[in-house]
């Protein structure tokens, strides 16, 4: 008996060196400006060529401005980093969807959107949220820069084979509950280290009923449980998504439906959840496992890590998040920066205005998403509600590009990490779904959508 993960992995196994080290061939390698320059340096110093430029796709996303992308980049280091990416891609014949290109956007948004991510593949990228691509029945995981160099040079990677964990979710999600609430709920129950050493498969009726966008949100955050990645078996929903995309025209329904896990017994570990138990979920602390239902009380723990976290968040005297005044809302990122997310936000805010003291920033995951927003008439909805809509990029998810949250202020964010300083030094991040974030923007405080 084999899991879907094992089947894909074994097909790509080149060599088993020892029980901690295997060589795995790679079908698609995504690269971006932040984790690739030092890898190219390694190649260039040794005079090594990129083995399969045709299987390598580059984008600029982590460090790009989200305004005036047609103008020169003001920050010198950022400009040099983007120029270095272009130079390296030109030198090695790699397709680059740079700033302003119609295919530009966050690497984990554009890969699926272009149909480059396909069932049965092994995909890597120097970014931990590469797990996003697992939504397509793909083994996808983040790697470090030394491994980026390995993949550029050999189209294979040296890594340990993880064990397998099945997370089965059944039942219907309640009204206003999104796949983001589900994954925040799961991580809050299991903790940030539960998945260490494992690759997750998400299955069950709840997952089967989700759109591809929602599935991507779930797989995206697998890494926040410490897992190498998370995947979902491809099916007819996957096929329907891929059949209209640029590079996946050749993918058949049969190809989408043929690869499945053999049964629950094939997994090293199994956890089950009931979708009815999931409520609008937000985080209160400084790691994604510190989540609660909006109406719940924080259960305090007597240890230094927990105390430091609550102090950082300014929540030592307040054990409930509902009603907490907030100053910023950020909607975007590889977790929730797709058209479906902006549609959900628009449905909530239509006819309303953001609270006067709130700054609401919407950053589409790609130029294609921005185009969809415009053609669906949502830009007007956002603007008349007082939301600021930007050009694509990772933006305030990691605040590398200057889109940051001031120290001490609260931001309800649809991104994936609430680490200290993640959205700017001293910034206080509350992770939430796009719907919860939209309600927070209108009311100026954490609000239960129900």
Interaction site with other proteins (CB under 8 A): 17-18, 20-21, 34-35, 37-38, 41-43, 46, 48, 62-63, 75, 77-78, 80-81, 84, 126-128, 130, 142-147, 149-150, 153, 159-160, 162, 192-193, 196-197, 223, 226, 228, 287, 289, 303-305, 308, 398-400, 407, 417, 419-422, 425-426
What stretches of 388-438 adopt beta strand conformation (E)? 388-389, 410-413, 428-431
Contact indicator for 392, 363 with CB cutoff of 8 Å: yes
Nearest-approach distance from CB 329 to other proteins, in angstroms = 20
What stretches of 60-176 adopt beta strand conformation (E)? 95-97, 122-125, 139-142, 156-159, 163-170
Phi/psi class of residue 263: alpha, beta or left (left: φ > 0; alpha: ψ in -120 to 50)?
Answer: left
Which of residues 372 and 413 has its CB atom nearest to other proteins in the complex? Answer: 413
Which of residues 302 and 304 has its CB atom nearest to other proteins in the complex? Answer: 304
Contact indicator for 222, 138 with CB cutoff of 8 Å: no
Nearest-approach distance from CB 132 to other proteins, in angstroms = 13
CB burial readout 14-42, b (16+ within 10 A) else e: eeeeeeeebbbebbbbbbbbbbbbebbeb
CA distance 46 to 414: 42
Task: From 359, 360, 362, select the one nearest 338 (Cα to Cα).
Answer: 362
Which of residues 304 and 317 has its CB atom nearest to other proteins in the complex? Answer: 304
Which of residues 103 and 147 has its CB atom nearest to other proteins in the complex? Answer: 147
Phi/psi class of residue 248: alpha, beta or left (left: φ > 0; alpha: ψ in -120 to 50)?
Answer: alpha
Task: From 212, 188, 345, 183, select the one nearest 275 (Cα to Cα).
Answer: 183
Q: Which helix (H) or strand (E) holds 372?
A: helix 367-375
Nearest-approach distance from CB 339 to other proteins, in angstroms = 26
Nearest-approach distance from CB 170 to other proteins, in angstroms = 28
Nearest-approach distance from CB 276 to other proteins, in angstroms = 30
Nearest-approach distance from CB 193 to other proteins, in angstroms = 4
Which of residues 181 and 403 has its CB atom nearest to other proteins in the complex? Answer: 403
Residues facing residue 123 across a β-bridge: 28, 140
Nearest-approach distance from CB 129 to other proteins, in angstroms = 9
Which of residues 1 and 48 has its CB atom nearest to other proteins in the complex? Answer: 48
Nearest-approach distance from CB 347 to other proteins, in angstroms = 32
What is the token pair recorded at 28?
């698609």
CA end-to-end distance (rounded Å), the chain: 43
Question: 325: which DSSP letter?
Answer: B
CA distance 95 to 354: 40
Which of residues 132 and 372 has its CB atom nearest to other proteins in the complex? Answer: 132
Which of residues 38 and 174 has its CB atom nearest to other proteins in the complex? Answer: 38
Nearest-approach distance from CB 106 to other proteins, in angstroms = 14
Which of residues 40 and 267 has its CB atom nearest to other proteins in the complex? Answer: 40
């Amino acid at each position: 008996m084999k899991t879907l993960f094992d089947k894909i992995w074994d097909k790509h196994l080149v060599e088993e060196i020892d029980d901690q080290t295997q060589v795995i061939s790679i079908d698609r390698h995504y690269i971006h400006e932040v984790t690739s320059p030092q890898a190219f340096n390694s190649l260039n110093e040794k005079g090594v060529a990129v083995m399969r430029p045709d299987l390598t796709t580059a984008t600029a996303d982590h460090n790009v401005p989200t305004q005036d992308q047609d103008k020169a980049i003001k920050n010198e280091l950022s400009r040099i980093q983007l120029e270095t990416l272009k130079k390296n891609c030109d030198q090695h014949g790699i397709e680059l969807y740079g700033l302003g290109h119609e295919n530009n956007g966050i690497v984990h948004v554009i890969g699926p959107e272009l149909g480059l991510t396909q069932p049965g593949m092994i995909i890597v990228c120097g970014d931990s949220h590469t797990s996003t691509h697992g939504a397509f029945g793909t083994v996808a995981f983040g790697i470090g820069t030394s491994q980026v160099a390995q993949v550029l040079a050999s189209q294979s990677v040296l890594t340990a084979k993880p064990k397998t964990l099945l997370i089965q979710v059944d039942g219907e999600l309640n009204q206003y509950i999104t796949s983001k609430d589900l994954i925040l709920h799961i991580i809050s129950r299991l903790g940030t280290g539960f998945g260490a050493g494992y690759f997750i498969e998400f299955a069950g009726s709840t997952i089967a009923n989700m759109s591809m966008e929602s599935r991507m949100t779930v797989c995206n955050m697998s890494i926040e449980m410490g897992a190498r990645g998370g995947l979902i078996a491809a099916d007819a929903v996957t096929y329907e998504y891929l059949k209209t995309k640029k590079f996946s025209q050749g993918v058949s329904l049969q190809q989408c439906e043929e690869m499945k896990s053999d049964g629950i017994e094939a997994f090293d570990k199994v956890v089950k959840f009931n979708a009815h138990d999931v409520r609008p979920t937000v985080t209160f602390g400084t790691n994604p496992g510190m989540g609660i239902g909006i109406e719940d009380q924080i259960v305090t723990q007597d240890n230094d890590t927990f105390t430091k976290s609550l102090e950082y968040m300014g929540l030592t005297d307040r054990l409930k998040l509902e009603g907490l005044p907030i100053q910023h809302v950020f909607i975007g990122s590889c977790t929730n920066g797709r058209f479906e997310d902006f549609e959900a936000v628009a449905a909530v805010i239509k006819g309303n205005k953001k609270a006067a003291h709130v700054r609401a920033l919407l950053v589409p995951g790609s130029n294609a998403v921005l185009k969809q927003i415009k053609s669906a008439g949502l830009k007007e909805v956002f603007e008349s509600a007082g939301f600021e809509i930007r050009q694509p990029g990772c933006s305030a998810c990691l605040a590398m590009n200057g889109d940051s949250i001031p120290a001490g202020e609260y931001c309800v964010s649809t991104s994936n990490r609430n680490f200290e300083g993640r959205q700017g030094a001293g910034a206080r991040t509350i992770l939430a779904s796009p719907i919860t974030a939209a309600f927070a923007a209108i009311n100026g405080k954490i609000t239960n959508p129900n």
